[in-house]
Structure 1
Amino acid sequence: MSRLTDTLVTAIAPAVWGSTYAVTTQMLPPGLPLTVAALRALPAGLLLLVIVRRLPWGAWWWKSLILGGLNFAVFWGCLFVSAYRLPGGVAATVGAIQPLIVILLSSLVLGSKVRTLSVFAGVMGIGGVALLVLTPNAHLDFLGVAAGLAGALSMATGTVMTRKWRPPVSPLTFTAWQLTAGGLLLLPLALIFEPALPLPTPMNLTGFVYLGIIGGAVTYMIWFRGISRIEPSAASALGFLSPVTAVLLGWFILGQALDVQQALGVAVVLLSVWLSQWAQLQQR
């Protein structure tokens, strides 16, 4: 499979993740971020384990636990804290620093070359996200910003270490291990810090199934597969597609406004994604 095909397939994951906000706000019970995160990860992980029928062995037990914590438990926990304490635009802009962190960590951990064009594309992507979602009256909250930065660092570290630790199993099996580990780490936190989940409605159940199967198992299998085939910095830059999808879905489904500034933001984000991929091709 060509690199272009690998890139396009990998891009499906962050594009689908952009639907998380609409599904969460429209279909799930409010005020239960840790519970929602646990129910998104654990059932999907257990279902995949039943399908693959293969558990980790040796060092892969603790590696799966670490990766599940980085890619799911810590990242999703910080993501929801940031989303609850910051306006959506501020949270998305803070999280957009992730590709730059991946570039730095890839250099330190994997020995990847730091490309000036990749850094420029990362900075451009942050600017594009800011144009896309940031409003003039947005306010800052220290804990929210700290959680957003911690979440970006966690996901960036998980992305790089997923590339470094590649087990001799399929992406489906690797996803099953990490989702299950992340869900097991999230479950006690949800039970301790949040009230009991109310009886789910059919709409709630549909949202949980979508986030767990489509937004969790399927997309993360695609994501982990992509990280094993293309550079982590190139894969991470595809994450800029999430806020683009979120804004477009808000406009198309929720009837939200799409102004000239946001349209410019979409163009800048797409250009930054293209530049980041082109930077990788120049190295080949």
Structure 2
Amino acid sequence: MTSDASRRGALIALVFLTLIWSYNWIVMKQVLQYAGPFYFAALRAVLATLVLFAVVVLQRESPKPPPWLPVVLVGLAQTTGFQSMVQWALVDGGAGKTALLAYTMPFWVLLLAAFGYGDKPTRRQWLFVALAALGLALVLEPWHGMGTLGSSLLALASGLSWGVGVVVSKRTFAKTGISPLRLTAWQMLAGAIGLCLIAACVPERAIEWTPYFGAALAYNAVLASGLAWVMWATIVQRLPTTVAGITSLAVPLTGVLLAWAILGERPGAVEAFGIALIGAALVGISVLKK
């Protein structure tokens, strides 16, 4: 395959990946009509684990587990923490708003690197963080009382949890040289165990095994957690880091638009301005790093 054809294929994959992950916020919101948040998150993670290990076998990668400590840490942060809090936030929060707040992950990574590892942000990066903080204040609108503030804080906490997983993953890659697919599969297994324990301990409504619920599970396991990660590996391999990083911007903003079009989640003027500020800050963090 020529380099031009390879690049075109990766760009097509980028478009599909953005649509898959963006639309999944609608799926995760609507599936709560048929199951509790923790039951669904646990089932999704278990099925996604099976899909990812199948991909590992098909890619002929070694199934040997990496060091257990980073695997457990990443699994608890990136799968157990992130998925449980996101799905819980969606019970009362809108799909678009939850997506946007969860995807504040790049800001948390920046702050964790600054205060945990001495990797000081530049003045421009601090400016983007301040811009994002202003946008968050406008989106949360705490002056209107609690309302859905609880779900918004859960979504923010999920972004922090994801950020912890990213930081630990980067350190693990640097120390062990493990492939992203192999680490993703094993951390998904560790995270799925954590989600199953939560689902077993928290009383929830019984699952309604409707066609939509089955389709939502399949969408999450095969597309959002299986095929999407294979496409992501292709994108990272074939496209510049800056281009690949646009995905972390496109997914939440597309999620906001889809929630507006499909679920009627139309933001007010103040919230819309806050969303625009967060979007601008995400561009700065993800694309304009220098």
TM range (shorter): 0.7 to 0.9
Matched, 1:36 2:40: yes
Residue number in structure 2 paired with 1:216: 225
**Cα separation, 2, equivalents of 1:205 and 1:258:** 31
**Cα separation, 1, equivalents of 2:150 and 2:287:** 36
Residue number in structure 2 paired with 1:250: 259
Consecutive unaligned residues of structure 2, counting only runs of 5 or more, are none
Residue deviations 1:53-107, cap 9 Å, x none? Answer: 44343x5233212211110101222233344466778766765654332112223
Q: Give 2:63's match in structure 1, choosing from 40, 55, 58.
A: 55
Shift of 1:175: 1.7
Q: Give 1:200's match in structure 2, choosing from 202, 209, 226.
A: 209
Residue number in structure 1 paired with 2:111: 104
Farther-moved stretch of structure 1 (161-170 vs 65-74): 161-170
| Matched residue type, 1:156 | G
Whether the 8 Å CA contact 2:96–2:265 is kept in 1: the answer is: no
Whether the 8 Å CA contact 1:92–1:133 is kept in 2: the answer is: no
Shift of 1:255: 4.3
Residue number in structure 1 paired with 2:196: 187
Matched, 1:73 2:83: no
| Matched residue type, 1:75 | F
| Matched residue type, 1:55 | P
**Cα separation, 1, equivalents of 2:252 and 2:140:** 8
SS state at 2:177 partner: coil
| Matched residue type, 1:208 | L
SS state at 2:263 partner: coil
**Cα separation, 1, equivalents of 2:234 and 2:119:** 19
Change (3 A) 1:101 1:215: same
Shift of 1:39: 1.5
Residue deviations 1:259-280, cap 9 Å, x none? Answer: 6656655543443233224542
Whether the 8 Å CA contact 1:162–1:224 is kept in 2: the answer is: no
SS state at 1:114 partner: coil
| Matched residue type, 1:72 | T
Shift of 1:186: 0.7
Matched, 1:26 2:35: no
**Cα separation, 2, equivalents of 1:250 and 1:142:** 19
SS state at 1:172 partner: helix
Change (3 A) 1:130 1:209: farther
TM-score by length of 1: 0.74
Q: Give 1:153's match in structure 2, choosing from 151, 154, 160.
A: 160
**Cα separation, 2, equivalents of 1:126 and 1:190:** 33
| Matched residue type, 2:52 | L
Residue number in structure 2 paired with 1:176: 185
Change (3 A) 1:210 1:44: same
Whether the 8 Å CA contact 1:171–1:221 is kept in 2: the answer is: no
CA RMSD of aligned residues (A): 4.1
Whether the 8 Å CA contact 2:24–2:220 is kept in 1: the answer is: yes
- How many percent identity over aligned positions? 23
Whether the 8 Å CA contact 1:71–1:159 is kept in 2: the answer is: yes
SS state at 1:42 partner: helix
Whether the 8 Å CA contact 2:249–2:286 is kept in 1: the answer is: no
**Cα separation, 2, equivalents of 1:27 and 1:175:** 25
Shift of 1:162: 0.9
